[in-house]
Amino acid sequence: MMDGFGFPSSAGHFRFRGELKAVTKSVGNLRSSISVLDLGSGMGFWTEYFAQRFARVVSVEASPTLYESLRQRSSSYPNVTPVNDDALSFKPPGKFGLVFLGGLLMYLNDKDVRTLLGNLTSCLEPDGLILCRESTIRQGTQTLQGDYQVVYRSVETYEKVFADAGFDLLSVQANIAYIYPQMACELVKKWKAHVPERLVCLPVVGRFIYWGLRLGYPWNAEVIPRLLDGMGYAFPKLTNHFFVLRPSSPTPANGRADATLRHSHHGPEVKEGTR
Ligand SMILES: C[S@@+](CC[C@H](N)C(=O)[O-])C[C@H]1O[C@@H](n2cnc3c(N)ncnc32)[C@H](O)[C@@H]1O
């Protein structure tokens, strides 16, 4: 996401550390004895974190190149099983207390998301959770074709997709650590679009924009989009959210679902509210 923008090499690490805080909060109550299924694990940064925190991790990555990096990264963790497979056809071995989908759903259409989530229901422990981290847009669904094929969905669209797949949404939380570099990326893109190529000077301008925004982190990643929203300007266009799900409990006889939705689209704190 951040390559080719002139950002400092520490930018990726800074984002990961920020996301780590949010993930740690979400998985904080889970027993350390559980198994974790990391689907679409990429090079295995999260796999490594889960391996240190939980008893067993099974990580599935479809790309042979990324799988090789995953295999190397996890080689010093005997509790990690790296698998080179398609998450849709993979048959999870055993029961899992946590399934992590870190940016996988945007590569799947709605039908495949439902299939995947349906398959996961049977491998979750009774109190098991699914934690998703997904790129989001403000409204509806946007499908990109061509070299980079992805489906960007709004939070509301995800809510519907999850409900259709038989899941309750326990919380939604804006991923501030992602939104801030995304703002920098979009500003750099605008700069490149409006300035002659010989004047672009990315190593200087990219760093200037990155550090300028980082000075106000984390509040600016919340306040700037909100202010601009109020003026009718969507910035950044792409956002990112954490979603915590669990299989829907059967609706009680009186017809009222007892699930309470803890919901915060924009702020870092999860707030209570009812659906
Ligand atoms: C956005 S990356 C995120 C990687 C990692 N979860 C992280 O958060 O750093 C999504 C990953 O999912 C993998 N992926 C996409 N479709 C997949 C599928 N059907 N089965 C397994 N992996 C898949 C991609 O190769 C990529 O590594």
Q: Which residues pair with 129 in a beta bridge?
A: 98
| Alpha-carbon distances of 98 from 10, 31, 134, 247, rounded to whole Å | 29, 10, 17, 12
Closest CA to 8 of 205, 195, 182, 187: 205
| Per-chain mean pLDDT for the chain | 88
Summarize the confidence of residues 84-94 as an average pLDDT. Answer: 95
Only one residue has tokens 């071995």, namely 93
Please check whether residue 153 lies inside any domain of the structure.
Answer: yes
Give the Cβ contact number of residue 100 at 10 Å.
26
Assess if residue 97 is contained within a domain. yes
pLDDT at 264 over 70: no
Cα-to-centroid distance, 193 and ligand 1 (Å): 30
Does residue 214 lie within any of the structural domains? no
Q: Please check whether residue 206 lies inside any domain of the structure.
A: no
pLDDT at 113: 96
Q: 31 in a domain, yes or no?
A: yes
- Assess if residue 189 is contained within a domain: no
Contact criterion met (CB below 8 Å) for 55 and 34? yes
Q: Residue 231 falls within a domain, yes or no? A: no
Distance CA 217, CA 110 (A): 34
Q: What is the pLDDT of residue 267?
A: 45
Ligand 1 closest atom vs CA 60: 21
Q: What is the pLDDT of residues 234-256, one digit of tens each?
A: 899 999 999 999 999 765 555 44
Residue (of 66, 69, 234, 207) closest to 140 by Cα position: 234
- List the CATH number of the domain containing 36: 3.40.50.150
Average pLDDT over residues 185-212: 88
- Residue 177 reports pLDDT greater than 50: yes
Q: Which domain holds residue 20?
A: 12-178+239-263
pLDDT of residue 5: 86
The answer to whether the CB of 249 is under 6 A from ligand 1 is no
Name the residue with the closest Cα to ligand 1, atom 13: 40
Distances (CA, A) of 107 to 7, 25, 86, 113: 26, 26, 12, 9
User: What is the position in ligand 1's atom list of the atom closest to the CA of 133?
Assistant: 8
What number of other Cβ atoms are within 10 A of residue 199's Cβ?
Answer: 8
Q: Is the CB of 102 under 6 A from ligand 1?
A: yes
The number of domains in the chain is 1
Strands 141-144, 167-174: parallel, antiparallel or unpaired by DSSP?
A: unpaired
- Structural domain includes residue 250: yes
